[in-house]
Structure 1
Amino acid sequence: MDQQDSNTTKANVFPQQAVVDDGDYPDLRIENDLLDSADEITYHEDDKVYRLEYDQSVDTPSEAVVAAVAAMTHTDPMALDPLYSAIDPSALDDLFATSPAHRRRGQIVFRYSGFEIMVSTHGVIEVNPR
């Protein structure tokens, strides 16, 4: 198999992956126009996950998930699989909507673009690259 065939095969098997090299876990930047309330995803060694903390009164959970995965994969958000292929974005946003009448606590975990995503009611998105 020549080099081009090898690269094509790898791209088809793993279309979107975190860009993490051999134990090097850098903090990742969020593109400026994706989220208003956060600009960085940090790696948490104890939990072995990337964590994005955002303001739920400014950005929706669905926006934060897409921004986090785009940063993890160094991919334009428009090139990612649609979030609705993994979860209903409107239902996700409604579930974690903040208002005095709806003070919920909890989290939801789902798979999206090859990652395990955890969204919590505390304005935290965790992305597990394993």
Structure 2
Amino acid sequence: MAKDASATTDNRPDTDSRSETADRILDLAQERIQRRGYNAVSYGDLAEDLDLTTAAIHYHFPSKADMVEALVRRYRQQSAAMRKALLEEHDTLVGRLEKYVQRFSSPLRRGGLCLCGVLAADESTLPEKLF
């Protein structure tokens, strides 16, 4: 069987090839996890708010751990791209630092916390797969 060229080496879709539905799921999951924590987010809540079935979410992310793994991967990719842009767009350390703080404080203004910080707080209850 031919391997999908858009898949990563671990057979999961790369962020660039992910469907619009999967991105909508991840967007809402991230917002909810940052506000409520890992354990307070369910596929049922996500499905209801996205007008999907839980089966549709399971199609994209077979388990909650798979979803969060994809979410953290996407978050890290976005963070790396943001840091690269900071270096290219700002000549001064102060300018870079101001934009960096602005970027990472935006979840606070929306009532949430840093995704990785929230997951770290939930560490004792996270599935082993996420380590």
User: What's the TM-score, normalizing by structure 1?
Assistant: 0.26
Between structures 1 and 2, the one with greater strand share: 1
Per the normalisation by structure 2, the TM-score is 0.26
Q: Which has the higher contact order (CA 8 A, sep 6+)?
A: 2
